[in-house]
């Protein structure tokens, strides 16, 4: 079985009050899961995730798991949530376990804490990976509050090799930023989605540090919006046309940064078989 799921961008980062929001982008991950005589896992996070779901449902099977991903790891682009969701979803499907999608998302959130890829459970990121589009969640209660389709604007993603793992900040006190964060959340609730994304990234860039020159470049070169994706360190820029995005892409001169062309999308998780949707 091959599961396809997309990465995403942060709109609200749930560290501060547990309320989070993320949006899906066209950046796929393909997770191949096959039953096997022995386990084959590429990293500890996969191992921990599989053991979590095996223990929960008393599954006594071994798996060969391979992941091919276009999502840069530990950049704030939802690679960990995409991985955890695809593993939980795939193993549940392979074993014919029938559960409500609400419970699937909650189990995946708990697995994200267990495998140490998330502090809050990342229900916001998991929901956007599962449903596509824009999702708003209460991560404290593992509850989906709202989901909406989003216009498929053009995107440029810029990132370097300075990875930033969420779990490294599990002891950081984010609560001092609650007052400012409420204003960002209000923007989102009033449907100023891109403005909320920018301010959310600005807040966390103040906390963690960022390269303002990259954002300034995007804004000076035809981007309608630009900022950091949540905790980052990846940057996003949003364009109204392919021509504008291509101009910024072709004139980007920063050393040690890589660029990805993408778009927002409303495509949720899919089961694939030999490249064909099941």
190 CB-near residues (< 8 Å, 6+ apart) = none
The secondary structure of residue 264, as a DSSP letter, is B
CATH number of the CATH domain containing 69: 3.30.230.120
Q: How far apart are CA 215 and CA 235, in angstroms?
A: 7
d(CA 25, CA 133): 8
Q: What is the dihedral of CA 191, 76, 108, 3, to 10 degrees?
A: 100
**Amino acid 119: pLDDT:** 86
* Phi, psi of 18, deg, nearest 5: 90, -10
Annotate 8-51 with DSSP letters as a single string. Answer: EEEEE-TTTTSEEEEEEEEEEEEEEEEEESS-B-SSHHHHHHHH
Residue 46 CB coordination number (10 Å)? 21
Q: Are 191 and 272 in contact (CB under 8 A)?
A: no
Q: What is the DSSP letter of 179?
A: H
Q: In the prediction, which pLDDT does 41 show?
A: 94
pLDDT at 167: 64
Question: Residue 32 burial (CB < 10 Å; 0-12/13-18/19+)?
Answer: middle
Show the domain range for 120: 1-278
Q: What is the mean pLDDT of each run of 10 residues along the chain (278 residues)?
A: 96 90 97 95 95 96 96 91 97 95 96 91 95 96 94 94 70 81 93 94 82 90 93 91 97 94 96 56
Which residues fall within 8 angstroms of residue 2, CB to CB, at 6 or more apart? Answer: 30, 31, 32, 33, 271, 272, 273, 274, 275
Virtual torsion, Cα 71, 77, 78, 83, nearest 10 deg: 20
Domain count along the chain: 1
pLDDT value of position 275? 39
Distance, CA of 70 to CA of 23 (rounded, Å): 17
């Amino acid at each position: 079985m091959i599961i396809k799921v997309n990465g995403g961008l942060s709109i609200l980062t749930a560290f501060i009050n547990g309320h989070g929001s993320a949006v899906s982008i066209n950046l796929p991950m393909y997770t191949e899961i096959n039953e096997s005589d022995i386990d084959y896992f590429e990293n500890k996070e996969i191992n921990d995730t599989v053991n979590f779901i095996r223990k929960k449902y008393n599954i006594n099977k071994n798996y060969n798991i391979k992941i091919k991903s276009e999502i840069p790891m530990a950049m704030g682009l939802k690679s960990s949530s995409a991985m955890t969701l695809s593993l939980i979803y795939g193993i549940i499907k392979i074993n014919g376990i029938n559960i409500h999608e609400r419970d699937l998302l909650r189990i995946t959130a708990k697995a994200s804490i267990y495998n140490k890829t998330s502090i809050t459970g990342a229900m916001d990121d998991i929901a956007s990976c599962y449903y596509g589009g824009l999702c708003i969640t209460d991560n404290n209660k593992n509850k989906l509050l709202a989901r909406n389709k989003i216009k498929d604007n053009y995107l440029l993603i810029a990132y370097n090799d300075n990875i930033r793992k969420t779990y490294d900040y599990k002891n950081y006190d984010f609560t001092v930023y609650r007052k400012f964060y409420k204003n960002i959340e209000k923007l989102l609730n009033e449907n100023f989605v891109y403005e909320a994304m920018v301010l959310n990234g600005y807040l966390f860039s103040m906390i963690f540090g960022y390269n303002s020159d990259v954002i300034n470049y995007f804004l000076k070169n035809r981007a309608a919006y630009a900022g950091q994706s949540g905790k980052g360190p990846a940057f996003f820029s949003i364009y109204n046309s392919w021509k504008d995005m291509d101009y910024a892409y072709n004139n980007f001169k920063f050393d040690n940064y890589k660029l990805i062309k993408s778009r927002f999308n409303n495509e949720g998780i899919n089961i694939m078989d030999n490249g064909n949707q099941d």
